[in-house]
Structure 1
Amino acid sequence: MELQKTIALFLLFCYLISSTVANTEFCFTSACSKNEPLIRFPFRLRNFQSVDCGYPGFNLLCDASNETILRLPNKSGEFTVQAINYSTQEIWLNDPKDCLPQLLLKLNLSASPFSGIYYQDYTLFNCSVFYTMIKLNPIACLSGLNYTVYATSSMRGVSLLERPECKLIGTIAVPVQWPFYEQVMSSDLSGDILLTWANPYCKMCESRGGRCGLKRTMYTREIICENVRGSGFPKGAQYAIIVGAGVPAMLFFVGLLCFVCGRIRSYRRRAEPVLEFSSTVAPQPIELVGLDEPTIESYPKTILGESRRLPKPDDNICPICLSEYQPKETLRTIPECQHCFHADCIDEWLRLNASCPVCRNSPKCVHGTV
């Protein structure tokens, strides 16, 4: 009976651990290449990140040149993602084939979650001659040997191009990067376009240093804000603590189960006529041995400045919570290996583990370090 109770408790514990891990969606920041924008919620990279790591309509992909591509609906075409600002909910786009005006002629954002912030109307003309006396910039990728295409946003430019040798193509609203207080005589329309999105709304979360995410329930999808500064441990640190404490506890239950089984076998053997000596030794539970508080506090702290300059420029992400370092965040460095972490993340780790989570070397106590 005692053995059955122990097995039942062990199975219940395993079920709780497996359920916690199974119901936790790990959505890591990704990118198509080193110099490409970082991709995280509400965006997701198709075939690399789970569907629940992004929001509908925010799917991105990597092309053969490892450029980040956004495919807009209504046959608007594919755009390269030049940059993403998650705090202001802005995205800069251009044409991977270096002919953005061709895409602007058929741009339709009505079925997408995106919209322009500033719009400028441009009127396009197809002229059978190339004007050298008029200071107009032609659109080279739309022009040919026998014709030249011009775009203007000023009434004077329109009046200059309303000639028999010029044919009106049409007027398009271009989502420009900033508002124009003066009309432009001509433009080749090669600059990036700027779009924004209203839903999901994560500006408040991002401004507080948090990260938006998608929480799936049985009937709904809920937008949640996690890892807000001052609201507790980062999610990555919580996972590390759960794993660090759960694995030894599970090993303890296994050892306890083996011990109970050994005692039962020994009892049965003593009840038989032939005496036997059991050599079963109960496994000892594995305990976590971390560092004490004075040792942890002896490791140097750094408050990150606006430039986010670190001893190792490539180490711009905390290896524990996988979040980018932000200005005015407090970092702690392990002197022996010079690995940096969020102070909250590494403090919790070192209380449970006396080794660096990156290189697994056991740090030595360095008292008096500033």
Structure 2
Amino acid sequence: MAALDLFFSFLLLLIFFFIIPTRASCPHSSCPGGPTVRFPFRLRILQLRRCGYAGFDLSCNNETLQTTLSLTNSSGNNFIVQTIDYDLQTLIVNDPDNCLPKRFLDRSFDNPPDTTPFRIQSFQMYTFLKCSPQATSFPVTARNISCLSDENHTVFAMPSREYDNWLQSKAPSPSPSPSSSGPSCAVISGVRVPARATHEWGVFGDAIEGVALTWSTPDCSLCEAIGRDCGLNRDASQIVCSDPKAKTKGLPRSAKYGIIIGVGIPGFLCILGLASYVCGRISAYGRRNRPNMDLSTSASQQPAIVVVGLDGPTIESYPKTLLGESRRLPKPNDTTCSICLGEYQPNEELRTIPECNHYFHATCVDEWLKMNATCPVCRKSPEGSALITPSSSMSSSSTSLPSP
């Protein structure tokens, strides 16, 4: 069993070093309706946590299948991620309802320093007005916000500086609260609007294309500029710049497969051999410790005949011959004991089996007859040998035979 444990330990080490890459792979991913997502971003569920940087988690919208971003200081829904520029470290986001002005009013793009890794380069103050349908005289820079307007009122937005100048130059000026009669406007709020959005207002009206968010940490701009990929090392302690064509370190894939096959097949055969050996030992141990079956029951189920050797008095009754110096034998050609294969020597005692007149060394044939009731040469049973069956008495180990 120790050898089996050692082999399995070696196999686990082999899998760890050759199958599991030394640097965990973080393949690029994306939502069906969104841009490619890679470090420092990661898609929840689809990518491992170590594949992204803290605060750069994205998600896939289950209904629209678009890529979404949640800003911790936003009180509304997640933003739709339209594009990600990894070289410039910029992403463009928009409101899922295509009403970014509403997100400006709830201050979703303010920059609390500790709640989001993203920043907006510059802002411009805008004043939002809620006016009655009769109010029509506004500066050319005022923009009608259709997604916030309805049949009862119209929402306008203009740069706060121009609003102040217009307020001072026009009479009567818009009241700070809705008037009970006549055309009137009320100030909703003065908010900071990202500079990109203010430029698009001047070009596209209120159809703002998106807001640009930038990040500075982690800084992967140099790595991206030379065509490499940013990522965290195995213990996520530092950012490394790796070659995208060499995702893992170590041996080439073909070499790894060759080693795995070369070691795996002999290893599998070793496992089979060890398993067979262990099973054999267990079976042998079980047979040794299995209780003996009742002899009478086993004999009744399968009768058998057992040949029992001769007893001492019977063996002693067989004639002995003491060889002289001439070594004359009844059969001159038989000069060798068929049991020990040794030649007969002077002064040795020989014993003859009466039934067949074969003779042997007395010591050799005595031992033989104690265990076998047949002649070692011709296999004849001497007169008086006993055949014991399972039904015979087992109290005596031998049967007394009458002297010939």
Q: Considering the TM-score relative to the shorter chain, is it more than 0.5?
A: yes
CA contact (8 A) 1:214 1:222 kept: yes
Superposition RMSD in Å? 3.5
Offset, 1:178:
8.2
Aligned to 1:225: 241
CA contact (8 A) 1:124 1:171 kept: yes
Offset, 1:197:
0.8
Greater alpha carbon shift after TM alignment, 59-68 vs 129-138: 129-138
| 1:188 partner amino acid | D
- Paired residue for 1:120, among 120, 124, 138? 124
- Paired residue for 2:217, among 199, 205, 224? 199
- TM-score of the aligned structures, taking structure 1 as reference length: 0.59
Offset, 1:244:
1.9
Q: Distance in 2 between matches of 1:28 and 1:50?
A: 10
Change in CA separation of 1:133 and 1:168 when aligned onto 2, cut-off 3 Å: closer
Offset, 1:59:
1.0
Q: Distance in 2 between matches of 1:146 and 1:260?
A: 86
Please say if 1:43 is aligned against 2:41: yes
Offset, 1:74:
2.4
User: Any idea what the Cα deviations from partners look like across 1:278-335, whole Å, max 9, x if unmatched?
Assistant: xxxxxxxxxxxxxxxxxxxxxxxxxxxxxxxxxxxxxxxxxxxxxxxxxxxxxxxxxx
| 2:13 partner amino acid | Y
Percent pairwise identity = 32
Q: Distance in 1 between matches of 2:268 and 2:256?
A: 19
- Paired residue for 1:177, among 180, 184, 196? 196
Q: Distance in 2 between matches of 1:252 and 1:10?
A: 16
Please say if 1:66 is aligned against 2:65: yes
Q: Distance in 1 between matches of 2:150 and 2:272?
A: 89
Aligned to 2:174: 163
Offset, 1:103:
1.2
Aligned to 1:247: 257
Aligned to 1:31: 30
| 2:216 partner amino acid | A
Aligned to 2:155: 149
User: Any idea what the Cα deviations from partners look like across 1:69-122, whole Å, max 9, x if unmatched?
Assistant: 101102343110010001110010110011111112221331111110232222
Change in CA separation of 1:83 and 1:68 when aligned onto 2, cut-off 3 Å: same
Q: Distance in 1 between matches of 2:269 and 2:234?
A: 42
Count of matched residue pairs: 252
Q: Distance in 2 between matches of 1:128 and 1:242?
A: 73
- Paired residue for 1:210, among 228, 236, 242? 228
Q: Distance in 1 between matches of 2:58 and 2:11?
A: 39
Aligned to 1:109: 111
| 1:116 partner amino acid | I
Offset, 1:13:
5.7
Decide which structure has the larger Cα Rg and report it: 2
Aligned to 1:341: none
Query: Structure 1, unaligned stretches of length 5 or more?
Result: 265-370
CA contact (8 A) 2:125 2:160 kept: no
CA contact (8 A) 2:23 2:247 kept: no
Q: Distance in 1 between matches of 2:146 and 2:154?
A: 8
What SS does the corresponding residue of 1:249 show, helix, strand or coil? helix
| 1:62 partner amino acid | C
Q: Distance in 1 between matches of 2:60 and 2:127?
A: 33
| 1:72 partner amino acid | L
| 1:177 partner amino acid | R
CA contact (8 A) 2:127 2:163 kept: no
Offset, 1:171:
2.0
